[in-house]
Structure 1
């Protein structure tokens, strides 16, 4: 990716609220200069924060990483479109499907990354969500039951070869016999393991964590409608100190009380994800889903089955909406919510962006205004290049 002549941007540091000038050189932050005293125009300065990192993108704006064959240019188009949402790094998510279909999806995404440097810069890795998940109704979610199966190391290696080594995160359920050994092998090969879509016992979750599992995928979703008070697999995952926790913070998937508990319990190990499906980024309306029939996207951003408004059909809100919800509801401060969508996921995945807004960190930045109820993105920078500017803004 070539570097533009954009070398500096003024704004309010998202951690301190102080006016700063951030300089960018050769794709990295080369300086953060505090300003002495107020200057003209300070009241109009945008907030500056690290670019958002999304561990779970199933699709965006009608493009889908799970409709086989994947349309040519999907990864490239999604990468570019996500800049308008402030997402500078993300993990295309391939879900439970037939063995060959998963291989085709992985091969397609990897091929686009190999052929296009800008796509490769945005795609930090691939998230394989399934098929080694629970076959039970509820925990399985919308994943096809006929494709769920026990972890298979040889099959995983076949998929990793198709992905050209880009599978960096896998979601599975430890309820299958032999899962601990599979988890250990993944970790040895540099793949992070997340527990999700599970009906596992406390003991099975503890065993997976002991083997190296370190994350919970969209905790509280992909679960039975009714659970015992205790023990249950949500409490068990919250109690495992080794496990980081991903949550969908759109206000539809989880009650605010749950979001608050996760943030309080996990602290810097709490991560926001969008889990966005292909209908995210589209206008409100009725759409046809290849896995759930007709779905409705409301003006408020809720995606539900047309015949059952109470049943969600996936997530259609992006990370900036999750940040807005957490801050507006008093669940997190602006800086804490931004970190949950940027520094925390980057730290979990071992990305350089974990350094945040600091000298030497990648020059992946967002500039935004806070209206008091929501974040409004103004600009996005990737490797020091200004890759998005909202019409009518000039930072």
Structure 2
């Protein structure tokens, strides 16, 4: 609990306010006299797709429970107060060990338990085709298997709450119904599915699209295709990577216009965030190249990306800098909207009764937003 209330300008209204916090919750929000140097106050960011950070990889062993805590602290420096560690396609035993380690981190580190809202399993039930498969290893792609998923869920202590799959498998509809009944959110991604298969998946309970526009063939039929069909499904929310590499501005703009409140940001950030440019060997994509401007791609196929090296806060600034969204909307696309998709308490945003997960920001006409402090559950954790 902070000794003093937080003072700043409401990110929506720009009015000066005082936020009082008790027991990790926002208890009061009151107007205060205008002060020239007050920062903006906004909800903490929520990232549903974090593969790793700062040389720590959730898909490469050994990683430890202490390293999960280290990633949590690194994300606080980026304004991310809630996140989903993401485990991708791998050998079945490797996936089991990864989700088990993440669960143990939540049990042993209270700050991890507060920050991790669930585990995102991205694969291995994806398309085996080159292009849609992206950097996921072909050898471990397989058809949806409920028994195998239950084994992983047991190892994770029930913490797998989001799963990305391709609906092109014949067993996908029944599998989606099974997971939906278990309370797991099913998202479509890395797919070469037909429009009919996407419609059937939605009818079975799929509710999201994972990084729409990526994990796709380099060339598609004009129409129909699986990107148009996902955009046309009103039931599907749309995760977008706005790092400047994954999607052109025009595609971001169209997706945001079509999906409205259902469009939100993820980072797909990897362990290469914060590392020097160069060529690296990685479990995601094998040999990858990190360019000077932060673009992460497969070294032998540079047209194929291998995740991102830019955090979620960069995506917010990208939208604002290119006038794709006003500042309040850009911030909510990285906080309230993803929280809403997973049914998290932080979807209440900057309101009385919401968790006191907050960030302080300084806007600039030349450099965009600068993060100055991060608060998690009413405690200042960075800045």
TM-score (norm: length of structure 1): 0.94
| Cα separation, 1, equivalents of 2:63 and 2:209 | 27
Aligned-partner SS, 1:138:
coil
Structure 2 matches for 1:113-262, cutoff 5 A? 113-262=106-255
Query: Tell me, which stretches of 5 or more residues in structure 2 are unaligned?
Result: none
CA contact (8 A) 1:194 1:215 kept: yes
| Cα separation, 1, equivalents of 2:334 and 2:28 | 23
Shift of 1:72: 4.3
2:13 is the counterpart of 1:5: no
Aligned-partner SS, 2:77:
helix
| Cα separation, 1, equivalents of 2:13 and 2:291 | 36
TM-score (norm: length of structure 2): 0.97
What's 2:25 paired with? 28
Structure 2 matches for 1:1-395, cutoff 5 A? 4-36=1-33, 38-39=34-35, 42=36, 44-306=37-299, 309-372=302-365, 373-389=367-383
Query: Tell me, which stretches of 5 or more residues in structure 1 are unaligned?
Result: 390-395
| Cα separation, 2, equivalents of 1:83 and 1:320 | 11
Name the stretch that deviates more: 193-202 or 23-32.
23-32
| Cα separation, 2, equivalents of 1:6 and 1:220 | 46
Q: Structure 1 residues 197, 309: closer, same or farther in 2, change over 3 A? A: closer
Q: Structure 1 residues 85, 116: closer, same or farther in 2, change over 3 A? A: same
CA contact (8 A) 2:2 2:21 kept: no
Shift of 1:227: 0.1
Name the stretch that deviates more: 166-175 or 286-295.
286-295
| Cα separation, 2, equivalents of 1:289 and 1:162 | 25
Name the stretch that deviates more: 275-284 or 350-359.
275-284
CA contact (8 A) 2:59 2:283 kept: no
Shift of 1:298: 3.1
Shift of 1:70: 2.4
Q: Deviations over 1:351-375 (max 9, x none)?
A: 0000000001000001011222422
Q: Structure 1 residues 258, 308: closer, same or farther in 2, change over 3 A? A: same
Shift of 1:31: 1.2
| Cα separation, 1, equivalents of 2:74 and 2:307 | 19
Aligned-partner SS, 1:85:
coil
What's 1:392 paired with? none
CA contact (8 A) 1:46 1:369 kept: yes
Aligned-partner SS, 2:147:
helix
Alignment RMSD: 1.4
Q: Deviations over 1:29-48 (max 9, x none)?
A: 11111235x33xx2x22111
